[in-house]
Amino acid sequence: MNQQSSYRIDVYIVTLFAALLSQSAFAHDPVFGLGPHVLFKGGVEIAPEVFIDRAGNNKRNVTGLELTYGITGDWAAGVDLPYVNKSTGNSSDSGQGDLRLFSKYRFWRKDGPGVQQSMTVAVKVKLDTGNIDDSSGRTDSLLGLAYGYESRKWYRWAALRYLFNGENDAGLRRGNKVLYDLVGGLRQHQTGYLEPDTVWLLELNGEYSERNELKGSALANSGGNEIFVSPGIFWTLRNFAVKAGVQIPLLSQLNENQQRTDYRARLILEWHL
């Protein structure tokens, strides 16, 4: 083998290894907010999760399984299968939650030296399939837009979502919601693809809710504005990741007499195949 051929092989190996490093750097999303990440073509993501919501006497635990498939390098789709356990005071209920179908499409991407910026549009539809909550006869849909800046050290995300809530069989329609997120992330120590990798996250998550309606009449004890500060962590090892965070109320301006959120927490495990 001559020196020129050996040089080309060395360059190929370095380029391939750099690509692997960039994949590990660019495979992150926030814990609570919407991020722009999509799967590679033909990729499969399996993500069990636990979500906990506490607001006074109202308690809600959701155990879910999210399955995602990479249709192309810019388009992914999947399904979310939740199981819900909730309680209010001395009463409790549990059962299968409504199935959710979702899709995300990356329509803009800009790569630079060690940096990737991207934007995606996301849609999610909640179907009337569960046997718990007040969702019987109701179909909800969500439309979102997300931006991400991702480098080997710093991460920045911003997202805006709008939730359209349908009316159930009893004539109750929960108020539509506007959700907005600003997120920053820091990787303190740059590691290789075969090494554990940690990114620390700090999210600002806001929710504005319209009042609920019963047969066309607005309900007083509903709607309002909440803002949360949410510290979290994203830990990865090759194709496995752990995402975890806690939402802490920063501002609660809810209408009339409502239970204000004490905290929310989320733990997600992700496998990419």
Domains, the chain, in order of start with CATH, read: 3-272 (2.40.160.40)
pLDDT of residue 142: 98
Q: What is the pLDDT confidence band of residue 13, given thresholds at 50, 70 and 90?
A: very low
More confident residue, 81 or 137: 81
Q: Which two tokens stand for residue 227?
A: 């803002």
Average pLDDT, the chain: 89
State the distance between the two ends of the chain, measured CA to CA, in whole angstroms.
36
CA distances (Å), origin 228, targets 183, 245, 251, 253, 255: 12, 12, 7, 12, 17
Question: Using an 8 Å Cβ cutoff, are 94 and 118 in contact?
Answer: no
pLDDT of residue 130: 85
Q: Is the dihedral of CA 26, 30, 33, 39 positive or negative?
A: positive
More confident residue, 168 or 267: 267
Q: What is the pLDDT confidence band of residue 21, given thresholds at 50, 70 and 90?
A: very low
**Percentage of the residues of the chain whose pLDDT score is greater than 90:** 77
13 exposure class (CB count in 10 Å sphere: 0-12, 13-18, 19+): exposed
Q: What is the pLDDT confidence band of residue 65, given thresholds at 50, 70 and 90?
A: very high
pLDDT at 116 over 80: yes
Q: What global pTM score does this model have?
A: 0.87
Q: State mean pLDDT over 146-167.
A: 96
pLDDT at 22 over 80: no
More confident residue, 24 or 113: 113
pLDDT at 78 over 70: yes
Calpha distance 126→139 (Å, rounded): 6
pLDDT of residue 137: 73
pLDDT of residue 41: 95
Segment 176-186, tens digit of pLDDT? 999 999 999 99
Calpha distance 78→63 (Å, rounded): 17
